[in-house]
Amino acid sequence: MSVQRLPAEWEPLDAVMLTWPHQGTDWNHILDEVTPLYEALATVICDYADLVIAVPANLLEEVRQRLSSMGVPEEHIYLYPVDSNDTWARDHGPLTVLTEQGPKLLDFTFNAWGNKFDASLDNAINKKLFDQQAFPAATYEACDWVLEGGAIEVDGNGTLLTTASCLLNSNRNPHLSQAEIEDRLKAAFGVRKINWLHHGYLAGDDTDSHIDTLARLCPNNVIVYTACDDPEDEHFAELKAMEAELQALTDADGQPYRLLPLPWPQALYNDDDERLPSTYANFLVVNEAVLVPIYDCLSDEDALEQISQAFPGYDVMGIPCATLVEQGGSLHCITMQIPEGVLGYL
């Protein structure tokens, strides 16, 4: 029987996938702010891995020229003409498992976090990229159930961490029981144990509490997690309850975790005075680097220090993400890792 495994995000990567912002996305009103952020992020990522970018056909050459003008080496950028509704590559991008026959892209159904938005174009991105040979050394499998990459964390060694409020939500897979979802997760990703969190949320989050905003698995049985130290904040009780759940968890081999709390950033609001889901947990691991979202807060430096403790020996750097969080997501949400061996090499 063939075994497949979803590698941990700190395992070697060929590339990171981005879906480029454009006028047809919800970024339209702040496109002049978010596009430079994507360009700056591309320059940093290309110091550590290649980039696979889905871009509307009419923007292809403009994006290529703008990245080139910023000094991004052309040999590290692979642009493909693909239409999109939005840019949340973590959730519409492929989850790539490693098999005895080589890497395989798992293309799950993306329904925009429970049909909250139109996602028909986003749901077609992976197949269109695959058909354009964006992932030449991988095979492709369409999966007929809903799953977003931001909803799960794996350690690559048998353990998966997720939230019940997302994966068991009736707006995802109402025809599946918890046991059936667990069976599918184990078969798809080669995990032996699934740890469920029943507490924790961020105001302003459209995802029904994706795990990548709350708690992240790190090397050496470490979990970094969003912690709130303000008893007057609406999140305090729920995040304290989540902390207690994390303290009771063990991995697939029965080993406990070392927990590292992340600082609580000062509250950010949009123009309508709605709370935004800013979190330091939404970081991106790219080979020898960890890119951490920062929000021009006093707690930014403390967050970088805590994540440095979780990733000793890595280059840990902050990426300003106050603009990203205006649309409810951050750094991890707009990226998807492409494991080593997928590009082949082109």
Pick the CATH number of 4-339 from 3.40.720.10, 2.40.50.140, 3.30.565.10, 3.75.10.10: 3.75.10.10
- Structure-token pair, residue 132: 């354009």
- Whole-number average pLDDT of the chain: 97
pLDDT surpasses 80 at 2: no
Mean pLDDT in residue range 132-137: 98
Q: How many C-beta atoms lie closer than 10 Å to residue 266's C-beta? A: 12
> What are the residue ranges of helices labelled H in the chain?
31-45, 60-69, 89-92, 112-115, 125-131, 164-167, 178-189, 236-247, 300-310
Residues 6+ apart with CB under 8 A from 272: none
Q: How far apart are CA 298 and CA 79, in angstroms?
A: 37
Mean pLDDT in residue range 24-37: 96
Mean pLDDT in residue range 175-185: 98
Which of residues 346 and 166 earns the better pLDDT score? Answer: 166
Mean pLDDT in residue range 154-171: 98
Residue 3's pLDDT is: 87
pLDDT surpasses 50 at 1: no
CB 251, CB 159: distance < 8 Å: yes
pTM recorded for the entire structure: 0.97
Where do the domains of the chain lie? 4-339
pLDDT surpasses 90 at 231: yes
pLDDT surpasses 90 at 113: yes
pLDDT surpasses 70 at 21: yes
pLDDT surpasses 80 at 346: no
Q: How far apart are CA 194 and CA 20, in angstroms?
A: 33
Question: Which member of 46, 218, 228, 333 is catalytic?
Answer: 333
Maximum CA extent, the chain: 54
pLDDT tens-place string over residues 232-255:
999 999 999 999 999 999 999 999
Instruction: Tell me if residue 333 is catalytic.
Output: yes
The strand pair at 222-226 and 258-262 is best described as: parallel
Q: How far apart are CA 266 and CA 174, in angstroms?
A: 36
Q: How far apart are CA 101 and CA 217, in angstroms?
A: 27
CB 68, CB 89: distance < 8 Å: no
